[in-house]
Structure 1
Amino acid sequence: PSWPEFIIGTILFVLVFGFLAKIGLPRIMKTLEERHDQIEGGINRADEAQAEAQAVLQQYRAQLDDARHEAARMREEAREQGAAIIAEMRERAEAEARRITDAAQSQIEADRQQALTSLRGEVGTLATELASRIVGESLTDVARQTRMVDRFLDELDSADGGAAVGARGAGEAAGQATTPTGAGQ
């Protein structure tokens, strides 16, 4: 280049460089700093968000563990309550079974007593008729008839063989009843 072009180029270069250094460079630096601050702030905010997320995650995990422990405790409590209910129901059933058994025993005893009373009356009537046939006279006196029936039944009750002796005694009484009437004819 020629000298005048060189000098004009240098002067213009210095002017443009000075202008850029004075006005453009501070703006560029300011923009770079803002961008740097934004990036640093973003990184810091990301670190803070990550730390907060970790804290929240730990909190959720703790709550989850608490919920699991609570669920296990509730299951155990329900199991214990179920066992208690089963035991209570079993006791109630056993008590009800005992009550029913006792009621049945009482009813059986009452029926037995009623049957004995009825049997006593029927045996008394049959014994009186049999004795009337054997003796040949009517035994209509109630007091006498009752004493004779009671004595006969007491003898049957006091015998060791119970029913066997009673059956044998009834058979003998029947045999005696036929013998005198047969002998009397």
Structure 2
Amino acid sequence: MSLLLPESGLLFWMLLAFGIVFIILAKYGFPVIVKMVEERRQYIDQSLQVAKDANEQLAKLKMESEAILSKANKEQGRILKEAMRERDKIIYDARKQAEVAAQKELNEVKEQIQLEKEEAVRDIRRQVAVLSVDIAEKVIRKTIANEEEQMDMIDRMLDELLSSKP
């Protein structure tokens, strides 16, 4: 017996055991293994398809978000421009109102000054009239020493006054 060559009986029983195991595996084991491998392949293919669909949806969402962001930026610009116009309008209106109020106050001050000026002129005229009467009285008293001359003077003035009135 040689160490490298098996005997024919042993070879026969090994082939027979191998054939039985192979037939049992071919009938019951391989279909299960093939089925599991096929299911795994389908699961991987399905997962790849889902990932591809998710990438497509992500790309669509990214495009939509960019469009929305662009639209929001345009809207923001429009709102800012409108706010600036409104601010300018409010400032313009406030200036106009301030100018009107200032003009009104200036006119009131001018009117007040004019009234005070007229009052001062009237006051000066009254004082001049009072001084004139006082001076005239003193002059007349000096020139008309007695009561009879004073009465003649009063009558003459009354006549002049009545004759000048229409």
TM-score (structure 2 length as normaliser) = 0.76
Aligned to 1:87: 92
User: 1:122-133 residue pairs with structure 2 within 5 A?
Assistant: 122-133=127-138
- The gaps in structure 1 that reach 5 residues or longer are 145-185
Deviations along 1:44-70, whole A, 9 cap, x unmatched? 111111111222222222222222222
Q: Distance in 2 between matches of 1:106 and 1:30?
A: 110
Q: Tell me the amino acid that sits aligned with residue 111 of structure 1.
A: E
Q: Distance in 2 between matches of 1:2 and 1:107?
A: 145
2:28 is the alignment partner of 1:23: yes
Deviations along 1:81-132, whole A, 9 cap, x unmatched? 1111111110010000010011111111111111111111111122222333
Q: Distance in 1 between matches of 2:45 and 2:136?
A: 132
Q: Tell me the amino acid that sits aligned with residue 121 of structure 1.
A: R
Within the candidate set 59, 66, 73, 1:54 is matched to 59
Within the candidate set 40, 48, 58, 1:43 is matched to 48
Q: Tell me the amino acid that sits aligned with residue 97 of structure 1.
A: A
- The gaps in structure 2 that reach 5 residues or longer are 1-5, 145-149, 158-166
Larger RCO, structures 1/2 (Cα 8 Å, 6+ apart): 1
Aligned to 1:163: none
TM-score (structure 1 length as normaliser) = 0.69
Q: Distance in 2 between matches of 1:115 and 1:89?
A: 38
Overall identity of the aligned pairs, in %: 26
Q: Distance in 1 between matches of 2:7 and 2:116?
A: 151
